[in-house]
């Protein structure tokens, strides 16, 4: 009997969309599949960074669509660059020699329109000897034509990280979505799926009221504990491992809704146990393996944790309040589920009686953004603000001297204080090393 061999890094994928351990997301699956199967429906997917948007969409698109084109946005990208990126990816569908002679009227005319745009692009880039980033959008490449080219290729258009582009570009995408809705009469598969790591759909695409019935806004929540447990179990069974139930529970707790942490800890467990590929069934994962995995996690993440903490508490303006620090410290006093706005404000007021609600609103928003290390998340369902991962929470507690005395279980409490100590120790060791390095350099 031949047995398929799996390797830990293809099973546990902290930095790539999961395939082998993909778990269906009960809370969003139906809505997403309905939207994908409704002709002309445009889709906006949003949610906390790392909640599983890319993984979910990619797995569903593969199940439902023949093809899709992915454009990844970076800060400062213009809508023209985004359109050009998609157009470039259409080239396999419009190769000159592919059945061109035999193709029917609509296909032939699309093919020739494609050629005209392509020639226009080549001309503009050779004239300017410019890089792709400054190519001009030829006037023929209208949203209508892009829609028809994509529709004919039966390709759906996935735009990743759309929250990174400017406001005016978001309006342009909304206009393109509108055109795609109309073109959908001829091309039912035609669709834009725009993804953004934000907390509302409107922060991803600025579409107007009249379009709202034809845009599905899909929120991908943080993972439920049961879903995280399934990742561990699926991976374990592929690799022939058996996780001790208490180890499994701790990994689920530490992940706190973020599947990337779950994958990373499981992968680290494999490193710690020296699992090279599918092991003999029954190899058990115990507390010592988890401890080693956590240590690896901290070794790798300590500098990032420290940087995120520094961003969160830094004080740029000399105002009356040290806002970042005040809010983070107050949040440290709650458990990992976090606190509702009112309770957080109450807790802050104990030390800062006249702390304004306006500051709390503004800085809570900032603390969710990359500028402040994304240390805070907002759970829309419960209305609670919480630390976006338990490791950053432990580090903040350690730095701000908050005694996490009210934590629920003693195992969890010990874990948290161990993490804080490890982060501190690692950051300190790195700092010493850097210092030694720079004195050495200086003396050379």
Ligand X SMILES: Nc1ncnc2c1ncn2[C@@H]1O[C@H](COP(=O)(O)OP(=O)(O)OP(=O)(O)O)[C@@H](O)[C@H]1O
CB of 329 to ligand X, least distance (A): 27
Q: Which stretch binds Mg ion (CB under 5 A): 49-57, 178-186, 231-239, 256-264?
A: 49-57
Query: Is 25 a binder of ligand X (CB under 6 A)?
Result: yes
Query: Is 54 a binder of Mg ion (CB under 5 A)?
Result: yes
CB of 205 to Mg ion, least distance (A): 16
10: region left, alpha or beta (phi > 0 left; psi from -120 to 50 alpha): alpha
Are the beta carbons of 147 and 187 closer than 8 angstroms? Answer: yes
Task: Please choose which of ligand X, Mg ion, none residue 56 contacts, taking the beta carbon within 5 to 8 angstroms, the exact cut-off set by kind.
Answer: ligand X
Total residues contacting ligand X by CB under 6 A comes to 23
Residue with tokens 């306006």: 358
CB of 49 to Mg ion, least distance (A): 8
How would you classify the pairing of strands 376-379 and 384-387? antiparallel
Residue number closest to ligand X, CB atom: 52
SS3 15: coil
User: CA-to-CA distance for 291 and 430, rounded, in angstroms?
Assistant: 21
Query: Is 197 a binder of ligand X (CB under 6 A)?
Result: yes
In this structure, the number of other CB atoms found within 10 A of the CB of residue 213 comes to 8
Query: Is 18 a binder of ligand X (CB under 6 A)?
Result: yes
Q: Which stretch binds Mg ion (CB under 5 A): 46-54, 200-208, 313-321, 365-373?
A: 46-54
Task: Please choose which of Mg ion, ligand X, none residue 17 contacts, taking the beta carbon within 5 to 8 angstroms, the exact cut-off set by kind.
Answer: ligand X
CB of 356 to Mg ion, least distance (A): 35
Query: Is 56 a binder of ligand X (CB under 6 A)?
Result: yes
SS3 369: coil
Are the beta carbons of 41 and 180 closer than 8 angstroms? Answer: no
User: CA-to-CA distance for 339 and 333, rounded, in angstroms?
Assistant: 9
User: CA-to-CA distance for 296 and 205, rounded, in angstroms?
Assistant: 39
Residue with tokens 């790798």: 300
Query: Is 55 a binder of ligand X (CB under 6 A)?
Result: yes
Kindly tell me which of 18 and 177 has the beta carbon lying closer to ligand X: 18
Q: At what angle do helices 245-255 and 390-399 cross, to 10 degrees?
A: 70
Query: Is 259 a binder of ligand X (CB under 6 A)?
Result: yes
Q: Binding residues for ligand X, per CB under 6 A?
A: 13-14, 16-18, 21-23, 25, 47, 49-56, 197, 231, 259-260, 263
């Amino acid at each position: 009997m031949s047995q398929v061999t799996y390797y830990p890094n293809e099973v546990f994928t902290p930095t790539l969309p999961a395939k082998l351990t993909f778990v269906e997301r009960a809370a969003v699956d139906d809505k997403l599949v309905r939207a994908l199967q409704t002709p002309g429906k445009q889709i906006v997917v949003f949610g906390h960074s790392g909640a599983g948007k890319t993984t979910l969409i990619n797995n569903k698109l593969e199940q439902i669509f023949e093809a899709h084109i992915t454009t990844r946005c970076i800060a400062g990208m213009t809508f023209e660059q985004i359109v050009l990126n998609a157009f470039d990816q259409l080239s396999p569908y419009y190769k000159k020699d592919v059945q061109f002679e035999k193709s029917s009227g609509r296909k032939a005319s699309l093919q020739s329109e494609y050629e005209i745009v392509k020639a226009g692009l080549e001309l503009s880039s050779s004239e300017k000897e410019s890089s792709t980033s400054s190519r001009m959008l030829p006037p023929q490449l209208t949203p209508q034509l892009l829609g028809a080219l994509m529709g004919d290729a039966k390709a759906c258009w996935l735009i990743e990280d759309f929250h990174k582009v400017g406001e005016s570009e978001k309006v342009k995408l909304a206009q393109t979505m509108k055109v795609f809705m109309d073109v959908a009469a001829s091309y039912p598969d035609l669709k834009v799926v725009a993804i953004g790591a934000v907390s509302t759909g409107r922060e991803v695409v600025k579409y107007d009221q009249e379009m709202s019935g034809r845009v599905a806004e899909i929120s991908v929540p943080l993972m439920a504990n049961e879903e995280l447990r399934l990742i561990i179990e699926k991976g374990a069974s592929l690799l022939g491992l058996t996780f001790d139930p208490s180890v499994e529970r701790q990994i689920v707790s530490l992940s706190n809704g973020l599947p990337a942490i779950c994958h990373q800890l499981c992968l680290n467990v494999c490193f710690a146990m020296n699992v090279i590929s599918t092991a003999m069934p029954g190899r058990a994962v115990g507390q010592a393996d988890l401890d080693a995995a956590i240590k690896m996690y901290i070794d790798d993440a300590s500098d990032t944790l420290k940087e995120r903490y520094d961003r969160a508490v830094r004080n740029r303006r000399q105002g009356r309040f040290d806002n970042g620090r005040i809010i983070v410290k107050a949040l440290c006093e709650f458990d990992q589920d976090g606190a509702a706005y009112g309770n957080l404000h109450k807790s802050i007021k104990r030390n800062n009686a006249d702390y304004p609600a306006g500051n709390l609103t503004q800085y809570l928003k900032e603390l969710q953004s990359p500028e402040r290390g994304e240390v805070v998340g907002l759970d829309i369902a419960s209305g609670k603000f919480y630390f976006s991962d338990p490791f950053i929470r432990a580090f903040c507690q350690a730095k701000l001297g908050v005694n996490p005395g009210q934590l629920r279980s003693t195992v969890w409490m010990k874990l948290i204080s161990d993490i804080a100590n490890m982060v501190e120790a690692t950051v300190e060791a790195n700092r010493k090393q850097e210092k030694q390095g720079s004195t050495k350099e200086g003396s050379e």
